[in-house]
């Protein structure tokens, strides 16, 4: 029961009650990587407080060539593929975007979320990783 109304989904009831008690701050961050360049690990977020990853999207800011894709990973310092691991797309036009299926969403205070690209893709391709996240303001 939430605010005198019966709610069938317990998770929604918790979320509704929680959001009414504390304001939620939603933010976005982005980093870019050249898939054909050198290997790179980029810092996306350094969490000063616990937060939740809501969405991760790859935006192709340069068209990708038809040669094989490369493995991209979103993780943390201690586990490079903790949040996501997958292969870049082939033959995609500029501004193509893909929502990623995250393996985990919780980020502990003090953790750093990273984006890793091994580079060395034979052909062209550049991507921007966009992460949307939120935390409660107490």
Domain boundaries, the chain: 24-136
What confidence score (pLDDT) does residue 115 get?
97
What confidence score (pLDDT) does residue 16 get?
47
Fold annotation for 24-136: Jelly Rolls (2.60.120)
Kindly give the parts of the chain with pLDDT less than 50. Answer: 1-17
Strand partners, 130: 30, 57
Write b or e for each residue in 44-65: b if 16 or more Cβ atoms lie within 10 A of its Cβ, otherwise e.
bbebeeebebeebbbbbebebb
Whether 55 contacts 124, CB under 8 Å: no
What confidence score (pLDDT) does residue 31 get?
97
What confidence score (pLDDT) does residue 138 get?
72
What confidence score (pLDDT) does residue 3 get?
38
What confidence score (pLDDT) does residue 8 get?
40
State the Cα torsion 103-108-112-118 to the nearest 10°.
-20
The secondary structure element, H or E, covering residue 112 is: strand 112-117
What confidence score (pLDDT) does residue 20 get?
58
* Interatomic CA distance for residues 51 and 25, integer angstroms: 10
State both tokens at 66. 């038809």
């Amino acid at each position: 029961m939430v605010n005198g109304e019966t709610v069938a989904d317990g998770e929604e009831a918790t979320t509704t009650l929680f959001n009414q008690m504390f304001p939620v701050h939603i933010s976005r961050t982005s980093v870019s990587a050249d898939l054909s360049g050198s290997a790179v690990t980029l810092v996306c977020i350094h969490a000063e407080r616990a937060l939740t990853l809501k969405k991760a999207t790859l935006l192709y800011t340069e068209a990708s060539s038809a040669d094989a894709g490369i493995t991209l990973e979103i993780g943390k310092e201690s586990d490079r593929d903790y949040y996501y691991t997958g292969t870049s797309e082939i033959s995609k036009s500029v501004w193509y975007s893909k929502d990623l299926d995250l393996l985990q969403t919780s980020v502990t205070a003090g953790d750093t979320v990273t984006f890793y690209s091994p580079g060395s893709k034979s052909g062209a391709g550049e991507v921007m990783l966009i992460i949307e996240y939120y935390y409660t303001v107490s």
